Chain A
């Protein structure tokens, strides 16, 4: 190791690496102190502070070593970097395996909580893989002289192939709830994922296509949910009637929000939409005679299918289980709701994909690219923006209606700013304007949020993940844009009939 180090490094570069590492570990130490340095513990009637300084110290050491590896790589000492990171990860893995398998270990692991140890191990293993991958890439690039990409159009998958993939995926999605591996808990997560996918596809119209940053999107979700809850409570409207009604009502609210913010752009728009989201929530909290206030509304009716309801059979022959001849299980309802949200999601996907290829979709994207040029070409930015707000809101309204029926209980708690942020994070992480990227981002994000094993560290892990994705893929997971239209013929003549 020493020989490789002294081979090409000047003392100044080594000093720089060490200096960088020291600064990084200092920053890590400060953050670590705030995050894991102390913990309040209730003992009897006293609240005591437990110091966990040894863990902070361990964190400082690991940050130092990790940064050292990256620094070594930067100055072309890849082998020592891989070696260093490898030693640490092997140490951790052996230590953890011993602890997990035999319940004891001679290798002292730094953190009391083994989840943190696993996280550290995972980070170091990732580092080893990253170093190894870039090591090979560099070598290949030097040997083969990679040809720079040409400006020719990208090659896209053929339509038939894409349809085959789509049908296969759909088949898997439909059969998922009937697998024995998928229990209530997983079915719930899957439904959540699909619900967020629908919401994110809706927000994607506003943020990804039309380029209008909307931080109050959850307001329309709330409008949809309360529409169903209130309409069914006061007027006894059925779910199937309320589903389109909730969409229309939320769409109306979208236009209402659209009008005052038409002149705003960027940060200012974001702040006003944020305000709108809070206004809706405050109304829901304070107008308790009508909305139930902070207690929310419960006993929201479950949807029925052709008059058959999801209830325990009472011998009247009007329940689903009697109709289908199955023994009653509460799981039927959840399977049905999963399939319902799947249908809603597929419809929304079709709707959004189709809209994108129609003039309004191109106008949205043009508006995102350059509003002034749009105006100079005769597009009315007002109408285009309102259409974007209304369409996005409508999709959120439908999702909200589903949510109310699925939960059976809603309260303003479900429609906080955090929800808006989660949906927006999905859109941004997925890649603005890309439907498939959004699905990937939702799966990652929702599994992360629902992954209770990480307990209080899950937000930390989520933040880290987002930072990592933003460094790795700054324009989102899938940033490739698929053109909405292609030319028909490669050569003239063309008829100019519209003159």
Chain B
């Protein structure tokens, strides 16, 4: 069954050591293109460290991380952090939300289109000459004049970018508040905004670090809906770290369980729910953890 699907990400023998501490110990896993792969495990299992290795915040001690795109395969462990996001299009969100609080929702979204807009604006220098107003009236005299002088070359690109931002803001139900500062949003909405912002960068692999943390059951259900929508309608595969089992078990196609830096199980949600090693890892010592 597995060999009919194309992988998007191959993690091979990944090991990450911090001095004497081995946070991840020889973990290998595969994320399939167009699927939601969930990584679960008790606190301190090394899930976020795995993400940090993937997105270039840490350089892995040992291991290979290959991201497959139709045109090319990228070796993520050799790339600089920002290039992983820019070229390989692996975009992540954070466990503790990292928005740009003083900027509006729309500006937050625009920042994730930075690379494309920088090119369109001639690294912001040529666009100094471009008209700054977004298109309002396609056939107005002013507009025709600008088109004649090619003055609106950047403004048009900016309009497209704004439309894309608005599309995703609408998807996460935040369009109404597009012009408010991100810090004014309640917690759940901030989580959604972070996902929308990541989607605006056209990721091939979207890495979500506990997107359901701190959400109430209704918000979790909405999140499920959003992630399924991304999976079904956009060319984005999802890698998910989550503790909320109502999210993990309902939407993920494949589960990887980590404990103390080691992979202890792998399989479909049904398999994992029955797996005795997983049950022991979760329930053997602590009862309060889901």
- Most chain A CB within 10 A, of B81, B114, B160, B198, is at B114
Within 262-284 of B, Cβ neighbours of A (below 8 Å) are at none
A148 within 8 A of B: no
Known: A355-B124, A376-B94, A378-B82. A365 touches B162 (CB 8 A): no
B241 within 8 A of A: no
- Which residue of chain A is the closest to B184 with respect to CB atoms? A151
A interface, CB within 8 angstroms of B: 151, 153, 351, 354-355, 357-363, 365-366, 369-370, 372-381, 481, 483-492, 494-499
> Which of A366, A381, A487 touches B179 (beta carbons < 8 Å)?
A487
The 23 sampled A-B contact pairs (Cβ below 8 Å) are A151-B177, A355-B124, A359-B124, A360-B123, A362-B111, A369-B99, A374-B111, A375-B82, A377-B91, A377-B114, A378-B91, A379-B82, A380-B86, A481-B102, A483-B104, A485-B162, A488-B163, A494-B167, A496-B167, A498-B160, A498-B164, A499-B202, A499-B234
Chain A residues with Cβ below 8 Å from B159 are: 488
B85 within 8 A of A: yes
- How many chain B residues touch A (CB < 8 A): the figure is 60
Identify the stretch in B18-26, B126-134, B251-259 within 8 Å (CB) of chain A at 4 or more residues: B126-134
A422 nearest CB across to chain B (Å): 26
Known: A486-B179, A487-B175, A487-B178. A370 touches B106 (CB 8 A): no
A354 nearest CB across to chain B (Å): 6
Contact A357 B85 (CB under 8 A): no
Chain A residues with Cβ below 8 Å from B195 are: none
B67 within 8 A of A: no
- Most chain A CB within 10 A, of B83, B99, B107, B164, is at B107
- Which residue of chain B is the closest to A391 with respect to CB atoms? B124
Per-position binary interface string of chain B over residues 173-212, scored 1 when its CB falls under 8 Å from any chain A CB and 0 otherwise: 0010111110010000000000001100110000000000
Contact A488 B118 (CB under 8 A): no
Prevailing SS type, chain A contact patch: loop
Contact B111 A377 (CB under 8 A): yes
B112 within 8 A of A: yes
> Which of A359, A370, A377 touches B117 (beta carbons < 8 Å)?
A359
Chain B residues with Cβ below 8 Å from A359 are: 110, 114, 117-118, 121, 124
Contact A375 B85 (CB under 8 A): yes
Prevailing SS type, chain B contact patch: helix
Contact A487 B162 (CB under 8 A): yes
Chain A residues with Cβ below 8 Å from B178 are: 486-487
* Top 7 A-B residue pairs of the complex, sorted by shortest distance between their CB atoms: A378-B86, A378-B85, A369-B100, A360-B124, A373-B98, A359-B117, A494-B167
Chain A residues with Cβ below 8 Å from B118 are: 359-360
Contact B197 A487 (CB under 8 A): no
Given contacts A370-B100, A487-B162, 19 further A-B contacts (CB under 8 A): A360-B124, A362-B110, A362-B111, A363-B111, A365-B107, A372-B98, A375-B82, A375-B85, A376-B81, A376-B98, A378-B83, A380-B86, A487-B165, A487-B179, A488-B163, A494-B164, A497-B160, A497-B163, A498-B116
CA distance A353 to B189 in the complex (A): 30
Contact A494 B98 (CB under 8 A): no
- Which residue of chain A is the closest to B104 with respect to CB atoms? A483
Per-position binary interface string of chain B over residues 144-167, scored 1 when its CB falls under 8 Å from any chain A CB and 0 otherwise: 000000000010001110111111
B221 within 8 A of A: no
B interface, CB within 8 angstroms of A: 55-57, 81-83, 85-86, 91-92, 94, 98-104, 106-107, 110-112, 114-118, 121, 123-124, 127-128, 132, 134, 154, 158-160, 162-167, 169-170, 175, 177-181, 184, 197-198, 201-202, 234-235
Chain A residues with Cβ below 8 Å from B100 are: 365-366, 369-370, 373
Contact A377 B166 (CB under 8 A): no
Chain A residues with Cβ below 8 Å from B132 are: 354, 357
Chain A residues with Cβ below 8 Å from B181 are: 481
> Which of A355, A365, A496 touches B128 (beta carbons < 8 Å)?
A355
Contact A381 B163 (CB under 8 A): no
A361 nearest CB across to chain B (Å): 8
A434 nearest CB across to chain B (Å): 12
Chain A residues with Cβ below 8 Å from B162 are: 485, 487-488
Chain B residues with Cβ below 8 Å from A497 are: 160, 163-164
A348 nearest CB across to chain B (Å): 13
Chain B residues with Cβ below 8 Å from A484 are: 107
Chain A residues with Cβ below 8 Å from B180 are: 151, 153
> Which of B81, B92, B99, B177 touches A370 (beta carbons < 8 Å)?
B99
CA distance A374 to B100 in the complex (A): 9
Contact A362 B115 (CB under 8 A): no
- Which residue of chain A is the closest to B194 with respect to CB atoms? A373
CA distance A377 to B164 in the complex (A): 16
CA distance A366 to B117 in the complex (A): 15
Chain B residues with Cβ below 8 Å from A369 are: 99-103
CA distance A486 to B132 in the complex (A): 12
Chain A residues with Cβ below 8 Å from B116 are: 498
Contact B128 A358 (CB under 8 A): yes
- Most chain B CB within 10 A, of A354, A357, A490, A498, is at A498
